[in-house]
Amino acid sequence: MLSRLNDGRRRAVVIESGDVDEVQRAYGLRSALYIELFGTTAQVHADDLALIGRHLTIRPGAVLDVGCGPGHLTEHLRSLDIDAAGIDIVPEFILHARSTHPLGRYEVGSMEQLPAAAESVAGILAWYSLIHLLPDALDRVLGEFRRVLVPGGTLVAGFFPGERIITFEHKVATAWFWPVDEFSARLGKAGFTEVERQLRPAEDGHRSHAAIAAIAETRRTR
Ligand SMILES: C[S@@+](CC[C@H](N)C(=O)[O-])C[C@H]1O[C@@H](n2cnc3c(N)ncnc32)[C@H](O)[C@@H]1O
């Protein structure tokens, strides 16, 4: 997704730790270029927009776009009559989203501690926003997603598939490839059931893509 960020105009500095503050700083430094390259739905694959719309319009209620970046997918959900709000740790993205989509709701915040009560949210979109989490932190964040989702609510997550859980030189900050089955297993451990899987091979300078839609189980029995 970010391979074009290193386009010669501004040499990317890869930050190696997966630390949230450093991820925030790295995106803040490159927010203008990220917005230019990826900040509208015209730059999103039609299949991805279809997947997001298919799964996050199922039930009434609020949807959180967690790690919303420029806010274009939040706005896309709002255009589908969904009560969507965007959250991101990068203030530059939130300022951009607010000024570009003045009717939308956007807040600076972290996915590790969502500003939402337990079982208050019908859906969560995490579109390529889990990719910078240390592998151990993924379980914690999925648990936080499960906390705020109503039973039966939907999570849609996009990420980079790979054969192993391994870092790669993402152009903003250290990111992880996830084997799709392993990602799905982590979802299961956090109380989700996968309902659809989307895979796309690398094409046109874009890395291969994976997305999973999953339902929050009605009640955890384990
Ligand atoms: C690859 S970008 C994806 C942005 C947007 N979802 C999109 O599809 O263009 C990853 C986003 O996740 C955000 N992010 C990373 N860690 C986060 C955290 N702990 N809490 C909230 N947002 C986070 C980043 O600031 C960045 O906007």
Residue range 151-167, pLDDT digits in tens: 999 999 999 999 999 99
Q: Is residue 222 part of a domain?
A: no
Question: What's the gap in Å between 88 CA and the centre of ligand 1?
Answer: 6
**Closest to 76 in 3D by CA, of 125, 27, 130, 149:** 125
Q: Is residue 221 part of a domain?
A: no
Q: What's at 150, amino acid-wise?
A: V
CATH number, domain at 150?
3.40.50.150
Question: What's the gap in Å between 193 CA and the centre of ligand 1?
Answer: 23
Q: Is residue 150 part of a domain?
A: yes
Gap between the Cα atoms of 39 and 42, Å rounded? 8
Give nearest CA residue, ligand 1 atom 1. 128
Q: What's at 158, amino acid-wise?
A: G
Gap between the Cα atoms of 177 and 117, Å rounded? 31
Q: How many residues does the chain have?
A: 222
CB-CB contact of 6 with 12 (8 Å): yes
DSSP string over 72-117? HHHHHHHHTT-EEEEEES-HHHHHHHHHHSTTSEEEE--TTS-SS-
Q: What are 156's strand-pairing partners?
A: 125, 213
* pLDDT tens-digit map of 90-141: 999 999 999 999 999 999 999 999 999 999 999 999 999 999 999 999 999 9
Q: What's at 4, amino acid-wise?
A: R
Q: Is residue 158 part of a domain?
A: yes
* pLDDT tens-digit map of 167-214: 988 889 999 999 999 999 999 999 999 999 999 999 988 899 999 999
Tell me which residue range forms the domain holding 24.
3-216
Q: What is the pLDDT of residue 219?
A: 65
Please state the domain count of the chain: 1
Q: Is 128 in the pocket of ligand 1 (CB under 6 A)?
A: yes
HSE of 74, CA atoms in CB hemisphere, 13 A: 28
Q: Is residue 141 part of a domain?
A: yes
Q: Is 28 in the pocket of ligand 1 (CB under 6 A)?
A: no
Q: Is residue 171 part of a domain?
A: yes
Q: What is the pLDDT of residue 4?
A: 38
CB-CB contact of 51 with 198 (8 Å): yes
Question: What's the gap in Å between 132 CA and the centre of ligand 1?
Answer: 8
Give nearest CA residue, ligand 1 atom 4. 69
Q: What is the pLDDT of residue 222?
A: 47
* pLDDT tens-digit map of 22-79: 899 999 999 999 999 999 999 999 999 999 999 999 999 999 999 999 999 999 999 9
